[in-house]
A and B are shown apart, each in its own frame.
Chain A
Amino acid sequence: EAGVAQSPRYKIIEKRQSVAFWCNPISGHATLYWYQQILGQGPKLLIQFQNNGVVDDSQLPKDRFSAERLKGVDSTLKIQPAKLEDSAVYLCASSLTTDGEQFFGPGTRLTVL
């Protein structure tokens, strides 16, 4: 079974630039999550989708972050404009159901200079 795919794996940008990350969840998984993991900390949820609807985006900085999940499958997370404090690993995870095991992708390491 293929795992959660993410791209790119690494991205370096200047502050105030924009960036987008892509996630392809495990086939059939209805729930998709985006987490932000700052160095030395545990992952923090940014947004949770159930199919193509948003379940929880209470921790998403909506003035600069946006996310969508088209057709309930792939998802993109965008940051515009980026700030220095956005430097982190962005993890995508998926689960079959909302209370099922979450499978994580390898993450995208973002560096904002």
Chain B
Amino acid sequence: GENVEQHPSTLSVQEGDSAVIKCTYSDSASNYFPWYKQELGKGPQLIIDIRSNVGEKKDQRIAVTLNKTAKHFSLHITETQPEDSAVYFCAASIGGTALIFGKGTTLSVSS
């Protein structure tokens, strides 16, 4: 079945810097790749997603890139702010099947 690896497990940046989180997936049939942000005591919240017919998607300070050949996708956050501090999860799925999540990255943004 699908396996998703996520790196790094922790990431510390200064406010205003960029942060990059990378994920790789194993099943070439996967075609949907969402990124979730989870704050303490809350459920995951979708921040951006990309489907396999698109190579890059951007929403203000957040962007996701997808390399289908290499089977990896990345989350880019520019101009980080303290409120970006949270745990970020990548996930992959095939059509309407279950999301397979990575183990998460704890992002800390210090001011």
Contacts and interface: CB of A to CB of B under 8 A. Distances in A.
Interface of A: 4, 31, 33, 40-45, 48, 55-56, 59, 91, 93, 97-99, 101-107
Interface of B: 4, 6, 32, 34, 36, 41-46, 49, 89, 91, 93, 95-99, 101-104
Contact of A42 (B43, B93, B97, B104): B104
Contacts of B46: 101-103
Contacts of B41: 106
Given A42-B91, A99-B96, A101-B34, A106 B101 contact: no
B46 to A, nearest CB: 5
B96 A104 contact: no
A99 B102 contact: no
A92 to B, nearest CB: 8
Nearest to B6: A42
B42 to A, nearest CB: 6
A55 B98 CA distance: 10
B102 A42 contact: yes
B95 A43 contact: no
